């Protein structure tokens, strides 16, 4: 076995199932080992941000490791934004970057793709990964790799592995099995006991599930826990889609004053909120009323638990959920059942399309053709998706980068074999839409709905007076054929329904549905979100609102 094979086998043993990448000379030897060893399949894409997004999505959809392999400098630095997203949203993405051979710098020349020093890239990645290793000694490599992969899994965050090109084919032994960290089971048991007492003492306890529940593969166990404790369940905004694969009754997604009033009332009137794996970010809680005191919540995140002024350090969420289950009685109470949303009747006529028509049409199509996992970009498509029935759902809602949707849809299909439904605005589509050209080669056939309002609509909503948010009409459906897919451009509700039906019923090629909308069309949720954020950032608005 050589270093490259040892790394690949360790990745597979730790749960990785595929690699996304773009080669370059510093990583060619490793790509050769990937191809020849066939330990993990390799999917090449066109631009490194998409490589990172797709690998991140594969990690998220499978609650496991994702892998992105790129060349030194030009490749790895191109991927920084995607890795930053994975870091911020807690996705265990393994970044493997090729690098100059150990002796290449000896000639005294600066090397191509080198920025400042040969260590610059590693230092940049130190900010956006939880562990960094350089494999420069084949004897030490197995231990280093074991440690790095273990950190990615334990923290659910990216790690950076730098692999100099002259190391790849050196003989190497296999990576040792991971030895679990020591934990204080007594402390975990006691913490679980206190959580259960607080929940039992409350009149209106509510469980809010967040991204960590999915990242750590805990959905079935958390659904069981919620049923045993008869806890009403909501998801955080970032956690939308969590528990969708279980039979838990999820009441909806919390989005403060921008969200559904019944869900907001449930959360805001609760006398004991239980935030399980919820990131405390402005996107999750920025639109909550000041009366929502998060310090009073029981909050499990980042390996510790806080409640009132108490902190329990070193409480891994997986062990905590198991301890909670161990202390609750099986079958004592059960709130189960699928989330039922009343659908208002869909109008299929020749009226222009608004965002709400898109969510209605997708709900109807999913009822007729079956559910698909959804990958959403940011922009109004994300707020439009709040009206889509609870389904497996990935998006970049906290870090809010753009261009995640299309590559995430590709990552989902590579990871699961299931075609995905992608929701994306025209601005975000301009960033990574080209990646659809890779579908044919890899056998993917996502359905991509482009919400085309000829501009950066969300920014327009915040600042309507500026014309720089106008993008013009690019006629995206026309490029579908040359990229190997089917394209449809729709302007009425009737055409939208037919196009979605057609897309669901055809297989084998990607389906691009370009939905033309008025430039100022906004979903009701985004409209409320913009008002809430403006009130937050503009005291004058707040005063006007208070006196209104």
Nearer to ligand TPW, 262 or 518 (CB): 518
The reply to whether 400 sits near ligand TPW by the rule CB under 6 A is yes
**18-26, 124-132, 248-256, 447-455 -> range binding ligand TPW (CB under 6 A):** 447-455
Identified binder of ligand TPW from the candidate list 92, 239, 373, 457, rule CB under 6 A: 457
Identified binder of ligand TPW from the candidate list 458, 480, 512, 513, rule CB under 6 A: 458
Quote the CA–CA distance of 287 and 358 in Å, as a whole number: 24
The 8-class DSSP code of residue 248 comes to B
- Calculate the CA 478 to chain-centre distance: 29
Identified binder of ligand TPW from the candidate list 380, 445, 495, 514, rule CB under 6 A: 380
**52-60, 149-157, 456-464, 500-508 -> range binding ligand TPW (CB under 6 A):** 456-464
CA torsion, ordered 512, 450, 18, 11, to nearest 10 deg: 180
**12-20, 148-156, 297-305, 454-462 -> range binding ligand TPW (CB under 6 A):** 454-462
**Count of residues in contact with ligand TPW, rule CB under 6 A:** 18
The reply to whether 427 sits near ligand TPW by the rule CB under 6 A is yes
Matching residue, tokens 């960033």: 431
The reply to whether 4 sits near ligand TPW by the rule CB under 6 A is no
Nearer to ligand TPW, 232 or 433 (CB): 433
Identified binder of ligand TPW from the candidate list 158, 379, 409, 487, rule CB under 6 A: 379
Quote the CA–CA distance of 246 and 165 in Å, as a whole number: 45
Quote the CA–CA distance of 174 and 34 in Å, as a whole number: 16
Distance in Å, CB of 380 to ligand TPW, minimum:
3
Quote the CA–CA distance of 48 and 463 in Å, as a whole number: 31
Please enumerate in sequence order all residues whose Cβ is within 8 A of that of 148, keeping only pairs 6 or more positions apart, or say none: 94, 131, 133, 159, 161
The reply to whether 401 sits near ligand TPW by the rule CB under 6 A is yes
Distance in Å, CB of 76 to ligand TPW, minimum:
18
Quote the CA–CA distance of 227 and 250 in Å, as a whole number: 11
Matching residue, tokens 């490194």: 48
Quote the CA–CA distance of 444 and 427 in Å, as a whole number: 23
Are 248 and 264 a contacting pair, CB within 8 Å? no
Nearer to ligand TPW, 236 or 384 (CB): 384
Angle, CA of 63, 512 and 340, to the nearest 5°: 55
Nearer to ligand TPW, 271 or 470 (CB): 470
Are 229 and 199 a contacting pair, CB within 8 Å? yes
The reply to whether 425 sits near ligand TPW by the rule CB under 6 A is yes
Please enumerate in sequence order all residues whose Cβ is within 8 A of that of 38, keeping only pairs 6 or more positions apart, or say none: none
The 8-class DSSP code of residue 470 comes to B
The reply to whether 410 sits near ligand TPW by the rule CB under 6 A is no
The DSSP annotation for 265-305 comes to: HHHHT-SEEEEES----HHHHTTS-TT--GGGSEEEETTEE
Q: Give the tokens for residue 437.
A: 């050209």
Distance in Å, CB of 141 to ligand TPW, minimum:
35
β-pairing verdict for 250-253 and 233-235: parallel
Nearer to ligand TPW, 5 or 56 (CB): 56
The reply to whether 433 sits near ligand TPW by the rule CB under 6 A is no
Q: Which of 502, 545, 414 is nearest to 20 (CA)?
A: 414
The reply to whether 459 sits near ligand TPW by the rule CB under 6 A is yes
Identified binder of ligand TPW from the candidate list 172, 250, 402, 436, rule CB under 6 A: 402
The reply to whether 453 sits near ligand TPW by the rule CB under 6 A is yes
Nearer to ligand TPW, 3 or 402 (CB): 402
Distance in Å, CB of 113 to ligand TPW, minimum:
23
Identified binder of ligand TPW from the candidate list 20, 312, 393, 456, rule CB under 6 A: 456
Helix (H, G, I), strand (E, B) or coil at 91: coil
Identified binder of ligand TPW from the candidate list 8, 361, 428, 532, rule CB under 6 A: 428
β-pairing verdict for 304-307 and 310-312: antiparallel
**38-46, 72-80, 419-427, 506-514 -> range binding ligand TPW (CB under 6 A):** 419-427
The reply to whether 82 sits near ligand TPW by the rule CB under 6 A is no
The DSSP annotation for 404-420 comes to: -HHHHHHHHHHHHS---
Nearer to ligand TPW, 39 or 374 (CB): 374
Nearer to ligand TPW, 25 or 520 (CB): 520
Nearer to ligand TPW, 91 or 401 (CB): 401
Distance in Å, CB of 519 to ligand TPW, minimum:
9
Distance in Å, CB of 476 to ligand TPW, minimum:
11
β-pairing verdict for 66-70 and 93-99: parallel
Quote the CA–CA distance of 435 and 448 in Å, as a whole number: 12
Q: Which of 91, 173, 69 is nearest to 396 (CA)?
A: 91
The reply to whether 283 sits near ligand TPW by the rule CB under 6 A is no
Task: Give me the residues that bind ligand TPW (CB under 6 A), please.
Answer: 378-381, 400-402, 425-428, 451, 453, 455-459
């Amino acid at each position: 076995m050589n270093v490259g094979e040892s790394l690949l086998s360790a990745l597979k043993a730790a749960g990785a199932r595929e690699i996304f990448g773009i080669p370059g000379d510093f990583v060619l030897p490793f790509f050769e080992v990937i191809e020849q060893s066939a330990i993990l399949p390799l999917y090449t894409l066109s631009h490194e941000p998409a490589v990172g997004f797709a690998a991140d999505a594969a990690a998220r959809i499978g609650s496991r490791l994702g892998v992105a392999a790129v060349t030194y400098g030009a490749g790895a630095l191109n991927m920084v934004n995607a890795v930053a997203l994975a870091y911020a949203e807690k996705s265990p993405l393994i970044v493997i970057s090729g690098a100059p051979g150990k002796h290449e710098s000896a000639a005294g020349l600066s090397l191509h793709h080198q920025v400042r020093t040969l260590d610059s890239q590693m230092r940049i990645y130190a900010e956006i990964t939880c562990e960094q290793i350089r494999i420069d000694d084949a004897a030490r490599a197995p231990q280093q790799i074991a440690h790095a992969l273990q950190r990615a899994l334990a923290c659910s965050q990216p790690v950076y592995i730098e692999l100099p090109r002259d190391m790849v084919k050196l003989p190497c032994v296999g990576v040792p099995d991971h030895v679990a960290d020591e934990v204080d089971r007594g402390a975990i048991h006691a913490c679980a006991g206190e959580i259960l007492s607080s929940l039992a003492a409350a009149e209106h306890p509510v469980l809010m599930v967040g991204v960590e529940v999915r990242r750590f593969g805990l959905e079935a166990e958390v659904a069981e826990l919620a049923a045993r404790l008869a806890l009403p369940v909501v998801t955080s905004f970032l956690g939308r889609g969590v528990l969708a694969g279980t039979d838990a009754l999820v009441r909806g997604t919390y989005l403060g004053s921008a969200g559904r009033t019944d869900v907001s009332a449930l959360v805001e009137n609760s006398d004991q909120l239980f935030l399980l794996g919820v990131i405390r970010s402005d996107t999750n809680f920025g639109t909550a009323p000041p009366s929502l005191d998060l310090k009073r919540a029981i909050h499990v995140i980042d390996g510790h638990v806080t409640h009132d002024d108490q902190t329990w350090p070193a409480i891994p969420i997986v062990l905590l959920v198991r301890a909670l289950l161990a202390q609750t009685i099986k079958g004592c109470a059960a709130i189960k059942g699928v989330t039922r949303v009343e659908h208002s009747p869909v109008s299929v006529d020749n009226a222009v399309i608004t965002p709400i028509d898109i969510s209605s049409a997708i709900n109807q199509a999913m009822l007729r053709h079956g559910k698909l996992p959804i990958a959403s970009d940011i922009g109004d498509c994300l707020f439009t998706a709040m009206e889509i029935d609870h389904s497996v759902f990935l998006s970049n809602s906290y870090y809010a980068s753009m261009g995640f949707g299309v590559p995430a849809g590709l990552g989902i299909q590579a990871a699961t074999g299931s075609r995905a439904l992608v929701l994306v605005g025209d601005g975000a589509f301009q960033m990574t839409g080209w990646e659809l050209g890779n579908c044919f080669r890899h056998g993917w056939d996502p359905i991509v709905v482009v919400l085309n309002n000829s501009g950066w609509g969300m920014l327009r909503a915040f600042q309507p007076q500026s014309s720089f948010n106008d993008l013009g009409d690019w006629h995206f459906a026309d490029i579908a054929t040359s990229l190997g897919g089917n394209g449809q451009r729709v302007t009425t509700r009737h055409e939208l329904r037919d196009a979605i039906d057609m897309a669901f019923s055809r297989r084998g090629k990607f389906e691009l549905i370009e939905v033309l909308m008025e430039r100022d069309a906004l979903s009701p949720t985004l409209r409320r979100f913009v008002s809430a954020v403006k009130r937050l950032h503009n005291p004058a608005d707040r005063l006007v609102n208070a006196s209104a």
